[in-house]
Chains A and B, each alone.
Chain A
Amino acid sequence: AQSVTQPDIHITVSEGASLELRCNYSYGATPYLFWYVQSPGQGLQLLLKYFSGDTLVQGIKGFEAEFKRSQSSFNLRKPSVHWSDAAEYFCAVEVAGNKLTFGGGTRVLVKP
């Protein structure tokens, strides 16, 4: 069965520093992969998605992610975080029928 693992439950980063969030998936076929962000008390907003082609994908708010098939990973990065990036981030894989399987999430705290 498909699964998504986000190994880091919490990450604390200083404002202006770089950020990398890890995501590993288990899925038999070529995956469609997503990163969502959830600000406190809000719904989920799509940051970026990977379907095929270039393995480095750009998203909104300065985020990017790299798909590595050999490592079954889809890590999210941002070169310089802003205080407004404090949120919870979810990695997800689309399985048959447009359904999403989510990882457990990583909460990002930004220190001034």
Chain B
Amino acid sequence: DAEITQSPRHKITETGRQVTLACHQTWNHNNMFWYRQDLGHGLRLIHYSYGVHDTNKGEVSDGYSVSRSNTEDLPLTLESAASSQTSVYFCASSSGNEQFFGPGTRLTVL
């Protein structure tokens, strides 16, 4: 079955380190999204991509970057992790109007 996976599921890192969160989907969807989930804020869009080599900034993109070298993957990189980036991160993909979400990565920055 087609699916969307995220790794790692849990990550603890230190302030200032570079961290990359992986997102992989097997639906062959063109559109992919990264969100962060924080209490009281719901999910907020970090970056998104409409296809290979396309990337766009979302609402809360500062301190994050993405790259899209193939259809299946959209890794999210925190260039220099900060405590404010402690959160749960969700990746999603879509074809049409419905987005399908991964299981999430819980990131703690100490």
Contact = CB atoms under 8 A, between A and B. Distances in A.
Interface residues of B, number: 22
A97 interface: yes
**B-side interface mostly:** strand
B56 to A, nearest CB: 8
A51 B97 contact: yes
Contact of B45 (A4, A44, A100): A100
**From B42, B48, B58, B99, residue with most partner A Cβ within 10 Å:** B42
Interface residues of A, number: 25
Contacts of B90: 43-44
Contacts of A42: 103-104
B67 interface: no
Interface of B: 31, 33, 35, 40-45, 48, 50, 58, 90, 92, 94, 97-99, 101-104
